[in-house]
Amino acid sequence: MVIDAPHRRLNPLTGEWVLVSAGRTDRPWLGSTETPARTERPDYDPRCYLCPGNTRAGGVVNPEYPTTFVFDNDFAALRPDVGHERFEEGLLRAESEAGVCRVLCYSPRHDLDLALMKPDGIRAVIDVWAAETSELANTYTWVQVFENRGAAMGASNPHPHGQIWAGAALPNEARTEDHHQRTHWAAHGSPLVLDYALQELGGERVVAASETWVGLVPFWAVWPFEMLVAPLRHVVSLPDLTDVERNGLAEILADVLGRYDRIFDHPFPYSMGWHGAPSPIADHPHWQLHAHFYPPMLRSATVRKHMVGYELLAEKQRDVTPESAAHRLRSL
């Protein structure tokens, strides 16, 4: 198959196809552009509601935290005090959803993104991801660790932070991935994502790899510089990572996030999140822990990929091949 010709690729994690139309980035662009956010930031901002010692919008004063800091979101999308109720009337159906939403400040520094942190600082964040996942999984089915970086991705505050949401139900994306990983496990007796990662090692879509981790642009990637990061051992959840694997993860995140920022010599916006086994963990041996990175920028720091038209009404489509995106990231 000639990959420069229009073709479709299957995502085995979701069962969805993506249309790959290489070369469309050469077309003239008169559409919308982003205005890159100001990149100069102080290490402390007295107006920032996430900086140490400052008052948040809800009136709570932050402690003078020296490292990572976690707190319950003052404007949470989920609440733990919601009772279980259901409504059904013909085709109309609804049910209540209990949960919690937490904010994780990566460090007291207002100007220190994950991409700029040393591996030991990133390691502290990883340990919090794991600890929060372990705690919340005792109560909730799904724990979603994620980050929206940059104003282009809707981040409400420039202070580097992520979020952790936990809920009683298994969300749509997780349910889809659970089904396809379970099916693969039943057929092959091995985890789908790990099998895929091992197949890709040494290949043209790998951006960075170590003895414990790989970061690559998936064969089925939708976003221009999308990446999948996964351990090279069967690991079902963040708390199960060994000390060596956590150090390895810190190093590979420092690597790939630094490459993102060098694509357009500008802080690269993205949404990222971890997918690990739902609770109870024992019922989901078919899972393999992995992280998705979805950056929207297409050809510069101002031109982004929009999911509109055909993508919304038919199927996802991308303008550059995953192989060319991985080559560009590798070369930085």
Domain membership of residue 7 (yes or no) is: no
265-277 per-position pLDDT tens digit: 989 999 999 999 9
5-23 per-position pLDDT tens digit: 899 999 999 999 999 998 7
Count of domains forming the chain: 1
Residue whose C-alpha is closest to residue 146's, from 121, 120, 171 = 171
Q: Provide the residue range defining the domain that includes 84.
A: 41-331
Q: b/e per residue, 55-79, with b = 16+ CB within 10 A?
A: ebeeeeebeeeeebbebebeeeebe
Q: What is the mean pLDDT of the chain?
A: 93
**CA of 89: how far to CAs of 72, 82, 85, 92, 280, in Å?**
35, 21, 14, 5, 31
DSSP H helices, 48-171, are 119-136
Residue whose C-alpha is closest to residue 324's, from 24, 10, 18, 17 = 24
Domain membership of residue 25 (yes or no) is: no
Most confident of 79-88, 153-162, 192-201, 301-310: 192-201
Percent of the chain with pLDDT over 70: 95
Residue in the block written with tokens 């799904």: 142
Domain membership of residue 269 (yes or no) is: yes
The answer to whether 12 and 26 have CB atoms below 8 angstroms apart is: no
Domain membership of residue 17 (yes or no) is: no
The pLDDT value recorded for residue 39 is 65
Domain membership of residue 24 (yes or no) is: no
The set of catalytic residues is 161
Domain membership of residue 26 (yes or no) is: no
Coil/strand/helix, residue 236: coil
21-71 per-position pLDDT tens digit: 987 655 543 455 555 655 688 999 999 999 999 999 889 999 999 999 999
Residue whose C-alpha is closest to residue 270's, from 163, 156, 148, 165 = 148
Give the span between the Cα atoms of 188 and 239, in whole angstroms: 25
Domain membership of residue 36 (yes or no) is: no
Coil/strand/helix, residue 307: coil
* Beta-carbon contacts of residue 220 (< 8 Å; ≥ 6 apart): 9, 10, 11, 12, 18, 322
Give the span between the Cα atoms of 152 and 305, in whole angstroms: 11
Domain membership of residue 193 (yes or no) is: yes
Both structure tokens of 147: 């980050």
Supply the CATH number for residue 243's domain.
3.30.428.10
105-148 per-position pLDDT tens digit: 999 999 999 999 999 999 999 999 999 999 999 999 999 999 99
